[in-house]
């Protein structure tokens, strides 16, 4: 690989890393054709982990980090002094194919700064995907960032080649968008999400390819004053209205060349983690946004305990829960019991009453679950009434503060 | 691999009790285990009376070709589990699996559902270990290109369990058009259009480095965010034992060392003043470069590919701007596709005739289609028209919207169900909706049948239907008069 290309890669990978999404999941299982390259497994694969603990699954790069937009939180905003570079379509294709052949990556996650115009930029992104699919028979994963300001037919075309499309919301309220991302238009962003969502459903019905792994978005946490409750309500709305697969929460991170509108500070990693947990409760644990709101204080989730435990502590009258009799929905509310453990409990108890030892074999979270459940040979007595229960279950506050 | 079982204890000669030795091949001997388990179950030998030996191919060899016992009918959950436990390194794996089979065939058919059972729990954990080992091999194995003209790749990997054969199909599915070898301390897998397995490989058989490794390391370094250092999370997912075979991990110590200072520096440096001038004009010009005229829009449509492959060309709308009436049909037909003009085939000619009878001048109306490309199936040499699906109509609807926006007719006549779908986004039965309609747009609307419908009717019905169509056009004429 020559040094010019390597330099571009360094700049354009650095410029892309603030996008939290790395998933290569959700695409229908595909195998390489006789002359083709690449497959998808459904669940996705993380090919490496960087020391920030994040997975490297896709080659996540920008086509260019030149950008005409001036979003205060973004390292690539036009007023930033960072080094700039631009890949050609062929260069991105070469990097993707060569990295893929060495089993470094699952595919490509391509985004771009807006250059010349949104339409021009979107066409370039689509051209990369099209070339990979057409000329290289590439069946690996392709995630394209859609430019919401681009003409709708360009999004239609992108969906034909991508496994996943995403449009980043970045800021959850119109007021924050106006202040921090003046060129962005909230209505255009949600309009594009609506279009993509509708086309995904339609294409599935017609057994046609259009972004088969769905769409996702990202919101930045900590760049504005939006509360956790508002973020979760927004996410629940996005999941419900546009059929989003994922909402990514990205703790606002210091960037090399910060804007005076958003001075750099340590990223709120713990808060980001709690938001993911709450999001998980909404998607897999039958929690409503109201439940999450009820588990928070003044709209903010506790940093020292997870939101499920926070909900349980505020709703002690619902516990303890009998593992041998409670319905699935209630078992899902027990701190320490994951969805898989709950399913295993429901199955296993058909064949005999479960003792605490049995439950221990079905979950790795028994220590946290114990105060909240009843087994054949176990009752937590007065434990749920103890005032210090929170303290005994809370994580040490500094655990994730790695500065 | 040969698998033999024999009664090892003299007591067994008497036919009762005794210890049975089941000797299996090295590694993951699934076939051997299957054969042995079938026979032992058939003979009613309980788990505690069996000694399972593996890694000892020479001890009993294939001296007695084992007679096949009948297959066991087992629940799916059990047959799925067995191949996922057999590759485990634990020497007890076969004994544990046999104990499971024994209990299942003796009445505990639903045993796999009891995940809290200690045996099931242990087997589940073994399965999980194998799944993880497979996953990590699929994830962390790195190919290097071998020197030479022909493109060939090789990798060295050290799995925890005997998973080479189980892991190989993934690489076949993924790298089918490449030639590659995977070397492990237990054996090698080779693919060059066919998958073969061979004796153990050596790490030294691999070339040092590869033309893209440095670039990959650059990428790995650049995608790391020093403000988010989280080593526990990294190590949990990518334990140190894998590092030595992954070229990018050489960067880890340096990244960790510098992370704190890099993050601190970003915070301390604070905001900066932009050095470059604000590109005011470029920004102003950027805002939406949607086509600003019908000509510009048509250029985009003309160079786009058909959503369903096959059409010769996009067929654009035709007619004057700002007309009283625009007609929207379904899609170009065979003739339209060849000539590149709308409504020139039989249906178009029928429309022209009906318009003339209704007192409408065809040259004063704008004519276009909801879908811009001809979709057909081949029957012999004939191209038979196929109705566009709702998805195809949606795909094209943006253009129709913009097109009618530029043309700005006073009234739009939707010819047939596809046109109505394109204009309203909803499927509407024509027979009921026929007549004046509201498409929720700046122009008035009218719904009638597509002229091709008239061509398909039986002769007896044609005359009446045609008269009704002409009547519709007369009403349209009255509406814009």
Among chain B residues, the shortest Cα distance to A251 is held by: B228
3-state secondary structure of A354: coil
Position B11 scores a pLDDT of 36
Contact A78 B260 (CB under 8 A): no
Q: Is A237 on the interface with B (CB under 8 A)?
A: no
CA distances for B334 relative to B263, B340, B377, angstroms = 65, 10, 11
What is the tens place of the pLDDT at every residue in A232-287?
999 999 999 999 999 999 999 888 888 888 878 888 999 999 999 999 999 999 99
Please tell me which of the candidates B144, B228, B259 has its beta carbon nearest to residue A253. B228
Q: Is A157 on the interface with B (CB under 8 A)?
A: yes
Residue A127 belongs to what H/E stretch?
A: helix A118-136
Q: Where are the domains of chain B?
A: 4-134, 141-205, 213-268, 292-480
Among chain B residues, the shortest Cα distance to A98 is held by: B212
Closest CA to A114 of A152, A144, A70: A70
Please tell me which of the candidates B138, B238, B255 has its beta carbon nearest to residue A48. B238
Position B6 scores a pLDDT of 53
Instruction: Name the residue with tokens 């066991």.
Output: B72
Contact A51 B255 (CB under 8 A): yes
Q: How far apart are CA A274 and CA A284, in angstroms?
A: 15
- pLDDT of residue A3 exceeding 80, the answer is yes
Contact A255 B177 (CB under 8 A): no
Please identify every stretch of chain B with a pLDDT value under 70, giving residue numbers as ranges: 1-17, 55-67, 287-288
Position B352 scores a pLDDT of 96
Let me know: does A306 contact A335? Beta carbons within 8 Å. yes
Q: Which residues of chain A does B171 touch, with a Cβ-Cβ cutoff of 8 Å?
A: 103
Contact A210 B391 (CB under 8 A): yes
CA distance B313 to chain A (A): 17
**Helix (H), strand (E), coil (C) string for A153-215:** HHHHHHHHHCCEEECCCECCCHHHHHHHCCCCCHHHHHHHHHHHHHHHHHHHHCCCCCCCCCE
Question: A74-77, long-range: CB within 8 Å, 24+ apart, which pairs?
Answer: A74/A18, A74/A181, A74/A255, A75/A14, A75/A15, A75/A18, A75/A255, A75/A256, A75/A257, A76/A15, A76/A113, A77/A259
- The least confident of A127-131, A227-231, B269-273 is B269-273
Closest CA to B334 of B377, B285, B380, B279: B377
CA distances for B285 relative to B104, B257, B452, angstroms = 73, 45, 45
Query: Top-level CATH class of B292-480?
Result: alpha beta
Q: Which residues of chain A does B299 touch, with a Cβ-Cβ cutoff of 8 Å?
A: none
Q: How far apart are CA A24 and CA A141, in angstroms?
A: 6
CA distance A290 to chain B (A): 31
Position B17 scores a pLDDT of 59
- The least confident of A62-76, A155-169, B45-59, B118-132 is B45-59
- Scanning B270-289 for CB atoms below 8 A from A yields 270-276, 278-279, 282-283, 285-289
Question: A87-93, long-range: CB within 8 Å, 24+ apart, which pairs?
Answer: A87/A8, A87/A12, A87/A61, A87/A63, A89/A124, A89/A127, A89/A128, A89/A131, A90/A131, A91/A5, A91/A8, A92/A61, A92/A63, A92/A128, A93/A128, A93/A131, A93/A132, A93/A135, A93/A136
Which of A16, A34, A104 best probes binding to B when mutated, by most B CB atoms within 10 angstroms?
A104
Q: How far apart are CA B165 and CA B187, in angstroms?
A: 9
Position B67 scores a pLDDT of 64
Contact B155 A117 (CB under 8 A): no
Q: How many CB pairs under 8 A join A and B?
A: 278
Please tell me which of the candidates B113, B214, B260 has its beta carbon nearest to residue A348. B113
Among chain B residues, the shortest Cα distance to A400 is held by: B230
Which of B192, B266, B427 best probes binding to A when mutated, by most A CB atoms within 10 angstroms?
B266
Q: What is the pTM of this model?
A: 0.91
Position B295 scores a pLDDT of 96
Position A401 scores a pLDDT of 38
CA distance B327 to chain A (A): 22
Position A400 scores a pLDDT of 44
A124 phi, psi to nearest 5 deg? -65, -45
Q: Give Cα B197 distance to the centre of its chain.
A: 29
Q: Which residues of chain A does B307 touch, with a Cβ-Cβ cutoff of 8 Å?
A: 160
């Amino acid at each position: 690989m020559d040094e010019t290309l390597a330099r571009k890669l360094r700049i354009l990978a650095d410029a892309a890393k603030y996008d939290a999404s790395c998933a290569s999941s959700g695409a229908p299982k595909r195998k390489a054709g006789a002359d083709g390259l690449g497959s998808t497994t459904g669940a996705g694969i993380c090919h490496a982990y960087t020391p920030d603990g994040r997975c490297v699954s896709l080659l996540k790069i920008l086509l260019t980090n030149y950008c005409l937009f001036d979003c205060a939180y973004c390292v690539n905003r036009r007023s930033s002094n960072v080094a700039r570079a631009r890949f050609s379509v062929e260069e991105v294709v070469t990097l993707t194919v060569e990295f893929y052949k060495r089993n470094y990556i699952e595919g490509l996650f391509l985004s771009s700064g807006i250059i010349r115009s949104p339409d021009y930029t979107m066409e370039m992104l689509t051209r990369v995907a099209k070339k990979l699919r057409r000329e290289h028979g590439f069946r690996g994963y392709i995630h394209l960032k859609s430019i919401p300001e681009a003409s709708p037919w360009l999004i239609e075309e992108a969906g034909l080649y991508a496994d996943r499309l995403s449009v980043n919301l970045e800021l959850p309220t119109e007021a924050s968008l106006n202040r921090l991302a003046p060129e962005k238009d909230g209505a255009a962003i949600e309009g594009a999400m609506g279009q993509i969502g509708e086309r995904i459903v339609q294409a599935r019905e017609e057994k046609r390819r259009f972004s088969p792994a769905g769409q996702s978005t990202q919101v930045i946490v900590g760049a504005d004053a939006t509360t956790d409750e508002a973020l979760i309500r927004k996410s629940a709305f996005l999941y419900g209205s546009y059929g989003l697969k994922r909402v990514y929460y990205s703790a606002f991170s210091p960037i090399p060349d910060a804007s005076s509108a958003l001075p750099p500070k340590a990223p709120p990693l713990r808060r980001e983690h709690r938001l993911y947990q709450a999001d998980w409760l909404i998607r897999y644990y039958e929690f409503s946004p109201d439940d999450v709101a009820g588990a928070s204080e003044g709209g903010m989730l506790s940093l020292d305990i997870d939101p499920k435990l926070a909900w349980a502590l505020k709703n002690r009258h619902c516990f303890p829960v009998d593992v041998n009799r409670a319905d699935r929905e209630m078992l899902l509310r027990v701190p320490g019991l994951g969805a898989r453990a709950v399913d295993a409990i429901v199955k296993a108890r058909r064949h005999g009453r479960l003792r605490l030892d049995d439950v221990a074999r079905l979950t790795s979270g028994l220590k946290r679950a114990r105060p909240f459940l009843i087994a054949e040979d176990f009752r937590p007595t007065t434990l749920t009434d103890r005032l210090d229960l929170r303290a005994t279950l809370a994580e040490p506050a500094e655990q994730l503060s790695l500065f | 691999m040969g698998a033999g079982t024999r009664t090892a204890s003299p007591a067994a000669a008497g036919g009762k009790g005794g210890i049975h030795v089941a000797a299996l091949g090295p590694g993951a001997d699934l076939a051997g285990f299957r054969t042995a388990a079938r026979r032992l179950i058939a003979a009613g030998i309980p788990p505690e009376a069996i000694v399972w030996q593996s890694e000892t191919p020479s001890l009993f060899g294939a001296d007695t070709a084992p007679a096949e016992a009948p297959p066991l009918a087992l629940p799916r959950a059990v047959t799925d589990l067995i191949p996922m436990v057999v590759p485990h390194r634990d020497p007890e794996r076969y004994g544990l699996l046999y104990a499971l089979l024994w209990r299942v065939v003796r009445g505990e058919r639903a045993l796999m559902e009891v995940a809290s059972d200690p045996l099931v729990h242990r087997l589940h954990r073994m399965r999980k270990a194998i799944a993880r080992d497979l996953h990590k091999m699929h994830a962390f194995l790195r190919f290097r290109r071998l020197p030479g003209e022909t493109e060939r790749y090789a990798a060295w990997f050290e799995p925890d369990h005997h998973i080479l054969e189980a892991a190989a199909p993934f690489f076949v599915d993924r790298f089918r058009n490449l030639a590659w070898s995977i070397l492990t301390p237990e054996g090698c897998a080779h693919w060059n259009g066919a998958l073969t397995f061979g004796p153990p490989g050596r790490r030294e058989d691999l070339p040092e480095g590869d033309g893209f490794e440095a670039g990959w390391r650059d990428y790995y370094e650049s995608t790391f965010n020093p403000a988010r250092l989280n080593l526990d999370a990294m190590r949990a997912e990518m334990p140190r034992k894998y590092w030595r075979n992954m070229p990018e991990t050489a960067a880890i110590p340096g990244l960790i060392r510098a992370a704190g200072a890099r993050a601190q520096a970003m915070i301390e440096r604070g905001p900066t003043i932009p050095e470059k001038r604000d590109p005011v004009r470029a920004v102003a010009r950027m805002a939406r470069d949607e086509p600003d005229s019908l000509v510009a829009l048509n250029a985009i449509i003309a160079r786009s590919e058909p959503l369903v492959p096959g059409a010769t060309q996009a067929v654009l709308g035709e007619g004057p701007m700002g007309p009283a009436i625009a007609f929207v049909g379904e899609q170009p037909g065979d003739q339209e596709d060849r000539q590149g003009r709308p409504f020139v085939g039989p249906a178009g000619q029928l429309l022209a005739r009906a318009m003339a009878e209704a007192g409408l001048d065809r040259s004063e109306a704008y004519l276009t289609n909801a879908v811009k490309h001809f979709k057909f199936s081949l029957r012999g040499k004939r191209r038979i028209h196929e109705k566009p699906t709702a998805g195809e109509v949606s795909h094209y609807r943006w253009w129709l919207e913009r097109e009618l926006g530029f043309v700005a007719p006073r009234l739009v006549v939707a010819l047939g169900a596809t046109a109505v779908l394109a204009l309203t986004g909803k499927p509407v039965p024509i027979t009921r909706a026929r007549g004046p309609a509201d498409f929720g747009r700046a122009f008035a609307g009218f719904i009638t049948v597509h002229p091709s419908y008239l061509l398909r009717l039986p002769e007896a019905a044609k005359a009446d239907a045609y008269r009704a169509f002409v009547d519709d056009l007369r009403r349209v004429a009255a509406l814009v008069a």
